[in-house]
Amino acid sequence: MSKRLTVGFALGAALLALSTVRAQVPNYQLLPEDLVGNFQEGIKSLRAGQSQAGFQSLDQALAALWGYQIQDLPAYSMELIRLCQQAHLPAPTRDRLLKYSHYFAPHSAEAAFGEAQLFLSPGAFSPSESYAAFQRGLKLLDYDLLARLRIQAMAWMGAAGLIKIFLVILSLLVVGRYSRPFLHWFSHLWPKPARKLSLPALLLILLIPFFVGAPFWMVLAWPAVLCLGFATDRIKGIYMLVLLLSVLPGFFEQKAKDLIIPLDKGAVLSQLNLDLGIIDENDLALLRSEPKTDGSTTLTLALAEAERRAGKYDDSSALLLSLAHTNGVSAFAYNQLGALHLEFNQVDQAIQTLESAQGLDPGSAEIYYNLSQAYGLGQKYDQSDQAYQKARELDEQMVARVDLEKSLLKANVVPVRMSLPAQLLEKELVPVRAWSMVLKSGRGGIFLFILGFILLLAIGLRNQVRTCRYCGRIICPKCLPESREIGVCGPCHQIYFSGKAVDPKLKMEQKALAHNYHRLIGWIGIGLNLAVPGSGLFLEEKAVTGLTLMIWPVLFLSGIYLSWELPAMLVPGAGLWQTWVLVGAGIYLLFSLVSILLYLKLTSVEV
């Protein structure tokens, strides 16, 4: 699995979301009645505590599943996992049910993630087994197209939301901290007779983003850019870096939209129906026409399987041979062709073809299992046993599943066909977006960054307006001069530093002013740290500590944001989102308490 997909899922575990996806699943109502009836009867018996009768019905359902050549039924697998969670079943019964859930959906990442969540529940708590199921789900993303696309879309949208929310929070903090000195400085740009017009003029300037129809984050970032000239150098650098990153969300959102593919029509749904075993003449006709028009490798493979099911052996064989030397699918095509030879008892051709497949992909358990069967038919029993043991080493669950299939279908040979890699189909479905698109989608952010840099030079290098860190009054050369101590006004310096004789009344008034200011700022800081851990520290210019504490809250808030924007969480039915919210909220509260304690320790001022 690619590193990008692994990172994407890790973000997904934190953010979890997808776009406004409609039910991108095949129509399970088209399933054969005997399969549906036996499965429902098995569930009913197991709920009633009749495990023997329940598993007999499930065996009949599996026999129907494999008899109709259906590959995966994630909905049925999830139903068995939910039964393990809801019913008080003995451990052996639960373990056997989980095996059956693998049989009903051997290639479904959704079912694996659902099993991981089961082992986090109180009745079956086992972190090691949960981690193993989670790892299996990651591997199955190579075959589960729907979950793969959803998780990748979630990762791109999560990254976009992360940057937006981080920029919004920092913008609010910068405006709250430095708006007063900026307003004071701006009023001095006007002559005294016209100074009353400074506030209306400033409001018009602040409303510029509304006039040009800018997005919400830019509406908040624009005032922060204006106020940034009065911040410390460290905060200036941090904010400008985040502002530069604001050029990326548009590109990330487009990447996510590209992954939200309409899977409810066309050749894609035909291929999903093929995996379900419910393909009809319309699907077959569509698959026959698609490869001729676009040269799709994956749809050609799907057509070869459809032709086989339609009884057209020669057409299926010809299609597979045409892909035998195609990079990325050679082993797949050879295995399917070898399975085709096995089905028609063509032993020598099967052995030759499968040996070619094994040379191309020595890590495929399906190829070794087919080789074992072919060697057995060719009376090469030692080689058959060796191939069988190798298949068990590579994928013991797959071997157990096919062995059970042989037993239930009473068949000597069951040709095993490899599941179509989702990555191949994804490459043909998802358009490629060059990173140069950032220049187009993020032009608003680029313009704001350049403008902010210019304003930073124009305002930041010239202004001498600050806020006194003791009494909170505006320090201004024209109004209240600064003392020799940077960030301290003249009156406060006399009282707290110089020790010179000061009028007792003025001293009392100045100390009362400082006391009230710090009491107000203290409560605001505590409130901010409780609401968004670390934000109060950032407001008090403890930038590094504040940002460190702010990482988790921003991730958590991004997840909540995505739950509004993208309501289809991860994979339907897995229930991981609820667990994430509960655990994330607890960690969020812990961060709030830690940030309040650090705030009280790091921002205390000797007054």
Token reading at 186: 């701006």
Q: Is the pLDDT of residue 466 over 50?
A: yes
Q: What is the reported pLDDT for 294?
A: 57
Residue 72 lies in a domain: no
Token reading at 483: 């003392």
Q: Is the pLDDT of residue 34 over 50?
A: yes
Residue 491 lies in a domain: yes
User: Is-contact 87 54, C-beta < 8 A?
Assistant: no
Candidate from 20-34, 118-132, 586-600 with smallest mean pLDDT: 20-34
Q: Are residues 458 and 556 in the same domain?
A: yes
Q: What is the reported pLDDT for 171?
A: 93
* Mean pLDDT of all residues belonging to the chain: 82
Token reading at 488: 């301290």
Residue 335, H or E segment: helix 330-343
Distance CA 289, CA 236 (A): 59
Q: Are residues 182 and 248 in the same domain?
A: yes
Residue 331 lies in a domain: no
Token reading at 169: 């929070």
Residue 466, H or E segment: strand 466-467
Q: Are residues 496 and 535 in the same domain?
A: no
Residue 228 lies in a domain: yes
Q: What is the reported pLDDT for 350?
A: 92
278 band by pLDDT with thresholds 50, 70 and 90: low
The structural domain count of the chain equals 2
Token reading at 451: 């403008």
User: pLDDT by residue (tens digit) across 424-458?
Assistant: 777 777 778 888 888 888 888 888 899 888 988 88
Q: Are residues 594 and 487 in the same domain?
A: no
Q: Are residues 156 and 240 in the same domain?
A: yes
User: Is-contact 391 402, C-beta < 8 A?
Assistant: no
Q: Are residues 528 and 553 in the same domain?
A: yes
User: pLDDT by residue (tens digit) across 308-343?
Assistant: 877 888 888 888 888 888 887 888 889 999 999 998
Q: Are residues 458 and 568 in the same domain?
A: yes
Residue 56 lies in a domain: no
Residue 566 lies in a domain: yes
Distance CA 461, CA 445 (A): 23
The more confident residue out of 305 and 528 is 528
Q: Looking at this protein, which amino acid is placed at residue 120?
A: L
Q: What is the reported pLDDT for 567?
A: 53
| Closest among 127, 16, 85 to 580, alpha carbons compared | 16
Q: What is the reported pLDDT for 370?
A: 94
Q: What is the reported pLDDT for 277?
A: 55
Q: What is the reported pLDDT for 89?
A: 83
Q: What is the reported pLDDT for 11?
A: 38
Q: Is 547 exposed, middle or buried (0-12, 13-18, 19+ CB in 10 A)?
A: buried
Q: What is the reported pLDDT for 332?
A: 87
42 band by pLDDT with thresholds 50, 70 and 90: very high
User: pLDDT by residue (tens digit) across 170-204?
Assistant: 999 999 999 999 998 888 888 888 888 888 888 88
User: pLDDT by residue (tens digit) across 72-98?
Assistant: 888 889 889 989 887 788 888 999 999
Q: What is the reported pLDDT for 103?
A: 92
Q: Is the pLDDT of residue 28 over 50?
A: no
Residue range 396-401: average pLDDT? 92
Percent of the chain with pLDDT over 90: 25
Q: Are residues 546 and 585 in the same domain?
A: yes
Q: What is the reported pLDDT for 510?
A: 87
Residue 318 lies in a domain: no
Which residue range is the domain that position 485 belongs to? Answer: 475-502
Q: What is the reported pLDDT for 276?
A: 56
Q: Are residues 484 and 580 in the same domain?
A: no
Residue 125 lies in a domain: no
Q: Are residues 488 and 546 in the same domain?
A: no
- 127-161: buried (b, 16+ CB within 10 Å) or exposed (e) per residue? eebbeebbebbbebbbbbbbbbbbbbbbbbbbbbb
Distance CA 543, CA 428 (A): 46
User: pLDDT by residue (tens digit) across 113-128?
Assistant: 888 888 888 878 888 9
Q: Is the pLDDT of residue 240 over 90?
A: yes
421 band by pLDDT with thresholds 50, 70 and 90: confident
User: pLDDT by residue (tens digit) across 481-513?
Assistant: 888 788 888 888 888 887 766 788 888 888 899
Contacts of 263 (CB under 8 A, 6+ apart): 24, 146, 269, 272
Q: What is the reported pLDDT for 24?
A: 32
Q: Are residues 487 and 551 in the same domain?
A: no
Q: What is the reported pLDDT for 275?
A: 59
Residue range 273-289: average pLDDT? 64
User: What is the full DSSP assignment across 169-210?
Assistant: HHHHHHHHHHHHHHHHHHHTTS-GGGGGGHHHHHHHHHTHHH
User: What is the full DSSP assignment across 487-509?
Assistant: T-BHHHHIIIII-----HHHHHH
Q: Is the pLDDT of residue 461 over 80?
A: no
Q: What is the reported pLDDT for 19?
A: 29
Contacts of 2 (CB under 8 A, 6+ apart): none
Q: Is 325 exposed, middle or buried (0-12, 13-18, 19+ CB in 10 A)?
A: exposed
Q: Are residues 542 and 520 in the same domain?
A: yes
- For helices 297-309 and 313-322, give the axis angle rounded to 10 degrees: 160
Q: CB-side exposure of 579: number of CA atoms within 13 Å? A: 15
Q: What is the reported pLDDT for 295?
A: 64
Helix segments in 105-144, DSSP class H: 109-118, 127-140
Percent of the chain with pLDDT over 70: 86
